[in-house]
Amino acid sequence: MMPLPETFPDTLDEGRHEPFGAVARDGGVNVVVFSEHATRIELCLFSADGHTELKRLALHGPHDGVFHGFLPGAGPGLVYGLRAHGPYAPEQGHRFNPHKLLLDPWAREIVGTHVWRPEHHGYEPGHPDNASSFDARDNAAWALKARVAAPLPPPASTPPRHAVSDLVLLELHVKGFTMQHPEIPEALRGTYAGLAHPAAIAHFQALGVTTLSLLPVFYALDEPALAARGAVNHWGYNTLGFFCPSPRYAACARSGDVDPAAVAAEFRQMVDTLHAHGLEVVLDVVYNHTPEGDEHGTTLSWRGLDHASWYRLAPDNRGRCENLTGCGNTLNVAHPRVTQFVLDSLRHWVEAYGVDGFRFDLAPVLGRTAHGFDPNAAFFTALRQDPVLARVHLIAEPWDAAYDGYQVGRFPGRFLEWNDQFRDTVRRYWLQRGVHRGDFARRFTASSDLFHHGQRRPSASVNFIAVHDGFTLADLTSYSRKHNEANGEHNRDGRDGEPAASFGVEGPTADPAIRLRRDRVRRAMLATLAFAQGTPMFCAGDEIANSQGGNNNAYNQDNPTGWLDWANADADLRAFAARCIALRRALPALHHDRWYAPGPCSGDDCAIVWLRPGGRPMIDGDWHSPHEHAFACQISPGQGHRVLLLFNPEDQPTPFTLPAYRWTLALDSSGELPAGEPPAHTPLVVPPWTVVLLHDTD
């Protein structure tokens, strides 16, 4: 079937009222658009290159906010846009402007190259009435267009479907991970195909991770302020196409001739290849805002189709957007059609591309009602009831930019949640920043104060030391303050006061004592993360001591700062991290997904006992001692080996009296202790800044 019919009709057939978007079916293309307040929506047909508008046809409707129509004789490859008519009353939240060609929110493919132009504004910039003015210039020459997609073939492999209790996450950026990898062919570096290359897969398998958590891969735009100074949003948290993989990371688009179908096929092949090697794929998704900005922003899609329905507006001034995201606008997920949009997008990535789960950026936005965050909000209910999404991993970033934005521990059902309290507590413990043993023990055992309620398991706590935003592991042990000057914001961006230490010299040093301490602390943190109860998440590059030169907000560093430095990879640290993960998998006590029992264990229960270095159990006064920080924990599973963990964050060696079992050394993060069984009846002297793991052999 050809993309365009042989002759254009004067009117569209009525067609079906669902699904939303433009779908090839029944010998033509069915188009469905949502707008609660539009009076008329036109389907604009374009030449294959998107440069020439060929025909405008009015959709039927509205019927309950739905406009629809059917174009006989059309098929995949049809290029189109939308124009919406309705009231232009910005003070009431209405910004309809038919002079603006709009992208279909449900677009499966996008054609064209985006350029920020004044014509993309629905108002006239510089006009005395500012955002209340009306701009009659047409933007079609510079607007991105949608293209009707052909269905992808069925997945070529079966998803691994790792149990939640077995997950080991690795957060990574497709381009950042592959761009400088010496074993990936140059033509594939920075791409989906590069991430599926045998060299990348060998690294993932040797490390022992189960699940890759990819930074945003949806079709995204660079913010106008970045574009104006020739910079890019390297991380991609500015989504325009919620159903389309970004062509930026496609090897097939390197020539500049972008075929959206080829990009989609390359992304699907990446997922299939990773699945075939036992690796799951989780996508970082941004359903909290769009690139249209605040009320002074552009009109690219949602704003022109129905600003008052798609966005949250200020209760006391509907001319203003509520900014709960720090990005100018906030999607109104409480609206049933916006909920449907998000669910349709999620379902599309599972059904068309085979992805295994999602990490929701600024996730409280998804549960916001008129009264604040609600874990029983309609979106969460709909998500729970969706049969396709019931089988995928759901991970929340449990904070947004609202006054009540911090919602760690409050997400419902199957959600796992990023636990920043684990990050900060573990860092401060090993950096000697005033953390008591009680604080460390609570975070090490899955933060029961946050997650032990309802039917939630310890795996709900996603533990991490470092992620994309913030210092890398190497940098938080090499710098005491951020160095973000290259970002172009005079070092004002990025988190201030992030727990970090240089140990005497800011940045690289040849001092052997400082280098030793940095290495010891990195290893201790990696071991703590691997052995802690909960779901561990490593940040790609930390296992090779990757540095960003002290930049703790490399969001616009699409250059060697934001790419992993494989040339200086620390192979010993990589082997150590892999050993930690292997031990976690091998010892049931280290991936136990039930809350620890307070007394003797039985069946599937698992008991934990905390001990002073001298061997006696910890008592109330020990937990918050400001002078002593070394201690031990013995975990006794109902089945499997008993394990003993020794933690020494002090500056001097600490002798530990071991419980009266037959112990074998499984791991010493310092590398100083002899292998095998420690001498009986003799304290084991643990070096400074060290984690030791032993298991019994009885």
Q: Which residues contact 25 (CB under 8 A, 6 or more apart)?
A: none
Rounded Cα–Cα distance for residues 64 and 538 (Å): 47
Residue 171, CB-side half-sphere exposure with 13 Å CA sphere: 23
Q: Per DSSP, what are the bridge partners of residue 357?
A: 282, 393
Is 284 one of the annotated active-site residues of the chain?
Answer: no
Residue 156, CB-side half-sphere exposure with 13 Å CA sphere: 13
Per-residue CA distances from 223 to 58, 208, 229, 275, 676 (Å): 32, 37, 10, 34, 57
Is 361 one of the annotated active-site residues of the chain?
Answer: yes
Of 171, 272, 284, 361, which is the active-site residue? 361
Type of residue found at 373: F
- Tokens standing for residue 507: 């940045």
**Longest Cα pair distance anywhere in the chain, in angstroms?**
94
Residue 77 contacts residue 48 (beta carbons within 8 Å)? yes
With helix as H, strand as E and coil as C, how does 615-650 read? CCECCHHHCCCCCCCCEEEEEEECCCCCEEEEEECC
* Number of neighbouring beta carbons within 10 Å of residue 163: 10
What dihedral angle (degrees, nearest 10) is formed by the CA atoms of 578, 601, 463, 354? 80
Rounded Cα–Cα distance for residues 325 and 195 (Å): 30
- Tokens standing for residue 334: 């409480």
Rounded Cα–Cα distance for residues 537 and 698 (Å): 32
Cα–chain center distance at 569:
24
Cα–chain center distance at 145:
27
- Tokens standing for residue 45: 């047909």
CA-closest candidate to residue 122, choices 139, 105, 106, 107: 139
Q: Identify the three-state secondary structure at position 198.
A: helix
The DSSP string of 240-293 is EEEEEE-GGG-GGGTTS---HHHHHHHHHHHHHHHHHTT-EEEEEE--S--TT-
Of 306, 397, 593, 668, which is the active-site residue? 397
With helix as H, strand as E and coil as C, how does 279-343 read? CEEEEEECCCCCCCCCCCCCCCCHHHHHHHHHECEECCEEEEECCCCCCCCCECCCCHHHHHHHH
**Alpha-helical regions (H) of 8-86:** none
| Catalytic positions | 361, 397
